[in-house]
Structure 1
Amino acid sequence: MGDVRIAVLSGAGISAESGVPTFRDDKTGLWAKYDPYELSSTDGWQNHPERVWAWYLWRHHLVQQVEPNDGHRAVAAWRDYAEVSVITQNVDNLHERAGSNPVHHLHGSLFEFWCDTCGSRYHGQLPDMPEPELEKMPPQCECGGLVRPGIVWFGEQLPDEPWQAAVEAVATSDVLVVVGTSGIVYPAAGLPDVALARGAVVVEVNPEPTPLSANATLTIRESASTALPTLLQQLPELLTN
Structure 2
Amino acid sequence: GFKLAKWASNDSSVLSDIAVDKRATTDNREILRTLGLHWNRERDEFTFVALITENEKNCTKRKLISDASKLYDPLGFLTPFVVRAKILFQKLWQAGIDWDEPLTTSIAEDWSKWKREAKNLWKIKIPRCLIPSPMEETDSTELHVYGDASKWAYGAVAYLKVISKDKTTVRFIMSKSRVAPLKTITLPRLELMAALIAAKLGSFIKNSLAMPIQRVICLKDSQIALSWIRIEAKNWKPFVKNRVELIQQLTEPKLWKY
TM over 0.5: no
Q: TM class, shorter-chain normalised?
A: under 0.3
Higher strand share: 2
Q: TM-score, normalised by structure 1?
A: 0.27
Indicate the structure (1 or 2) with the bigger Cα radius of gyration: 2
Q: TM-score, normalised by structure 2?
A: 0.26
